[in-house]
Structure formats: C-alpha cells, structure tokens
Amino acid sequence: MGVRKDFAMASSVSAISQGAENESIDQVTSWLAAARARGDIKPATVRTRITALKAIRSVLDVNEPRTPEAVLANLDDLVKRWANKHNQHGQTLTDYAGRCRTALQQYLAWKQDPAKFRAPPGRTPSRKPIVEANNKADVTPQPPRVSPGNTERRTLPLGVDRDPFVYELPVGGLTVKDIQRISYHLVTMANDYDASEGTPKDALMRVSSGPHI
C-alpha cells in the first residue's frame, strides 16, 4: 500500500506540474511509430521500446496517472511491479527499464521543442584498449574472435515468399539450456509479441499448445 500511495501522490504532482493530465504513455508509442515511419529511429529499436512500454502500462491501476512524466518519475517501482507479477529478474528487467526510460525521455525532449529534437544515434559498444606489458595501449583495431573453419552456418525456412532464418552455431555447439535462453531472447523480437500478455516463456507456451507445424 505504501508504494502505491507514494506512486499515486508523486505521479499526480508530476502530472499537474506539467499540465498534461489528459496525456498518456500511449502518445509515446504513437510518437515512436511515427519516428519509425520517418526513418528517425530504427524499426527494431522502436519495436523493443514499444514492447517494454506496453509491459509497464499493463501493471498500472485504473486510477493511477499514465502521463509520460508520471511513469518516468516512478519507472523503477513499476518495473519491480511487473517483475513480481511475471516472476522476471536479471537482464530482462534491465533491458525493459532502459528501453522505457529512453523512450520517455526522448518523447519529453521532443515535446518540449519538436523543431530542434534529433533522436541520438544508437550506442555502439565501447572497446577497451589492449595494454601491453609496457603499459602502452595497442591502437591497432582487433578483429572479432572467430575460430576459422569451426563455425557452422545454417538456415531455417520460414515459409513461401519469406526469407529464411539464418543462424550460426558457436564453436563447441549448444546445450538445451542455451537454446532456451536464445528462444526467450528471440521472442521479444517477434512482430506479434505483446509483453502485456505475459513473459516470453508464456508466449512460447501459448504457441506450443496450438497447432503444430
């Protein structure tokens, strides 16, 4: 009760101060879809952010404010609520929180000055310099680690008029546990995946209980 009360109070103050009582995070998903159509944000990025926003929206009570400002101010509590409901933890929560926060912050920045807003480019992983024994950094770019001749590329047909799914098996192969992790990860990228209907595991169970291919 304490968390819900604090959330409602903090969110109400945020909404009133911004003067956007009738706005909701649904406007954020619509804005993301428009940004994708314009080519401002990559389709895959938009898809994962909308999935995360829908997950957070699904745990809001009917009387709780849904303004972008309110949700952003209380995002950590909402992510924990979704995690408790769906028994999720670890990287999934970190990903969802980060995607929601970025989407909400960018939307609010755009709303403040649409003419000047520019979506920042996607981040690329930073690479630490390789330090030699004499503590001098080797500035020569290092190629990705691949064992030549040992990887195995395979394809999986997906149907008529569709490109096949292409994947590459790592050196040493995979375990059943590895395959499970990969499947949960891939589910979040599906066009018809809706986090408000449950976890990736729930989605796979629904598919498994249906007609078999």
| Sign of the four-CA dihedral 37, 121, 43, 104 | negative
CA 135 to chain centre: 38
Say if residue 106's pLDDT is above 80.
Answer: yes
Q: Which two tokens stand for residue 131?
A: 């330090």
Looking at residues 90-104, what average pLDDT do you find?
88
> Between residues 128 and 68, which one has the greater pLDDT?
68
Q: Which of 87, 75, 103 is nearest to 201 (CA)?
A: 87
Q: Which of 116, 25, 31, 112 is nearest to 69 (CA)?
A: 25
Residue 189 pLDDT level (bands cut at 50, 70, 90): confident
What is the per-residue pLDDT for 1?
44
Q: Which two tokens stand for residue 66?
A: 């849904």
Residue 89 pLDDT level (bands cut at 50, 70, 90): confident
* Strands 137-138, 152-156: pairing kind: unpaired
Q: What is the mean pLDDT of the chain?
A: 75
Q: Determine the Cα–Cα distance for residues 202 and 213; give it in Å rounded to an integer.
A: 19
Assess contact for 14 and 69: CB atoms under 8 A.
yes
| Sign of the four-CA dihedral 18, 23, 24, 27 | negative
Which residues are paired to 130 by β-bridges? 138
Place of tokens 């970190």: 94
Which element (helix H / strand E) includes 58?
none
Assess contact for 114 and 104: CB atoms under 8 A.
no
Say if residue 102's pLDDT is above 90.
Answer: yes
CA dihedral 87, 90, 96, 99 (to 10 degrees): 180
Q: Which two tokens stand for residue 87?
A: 């028994």
Looking at residues 136-161, what average pLDDT do you find?
62
Say if residue 54's pLDDT is above 60.
Answer: yes
User: Which region, left, alpha or beta, applies to residue 149 given φ > 0 means left and ψ of -120 to 50 means alpha?
Assistant: left
Write the pLDDT tens digit of every residue in 63-75: 899 999 999 999 9
Looking at residues 84-109, what average pLDDT do you find?
88
Which residues are paired to 166 by β-bridges? 155
pTM (2 decimals)? 0.54
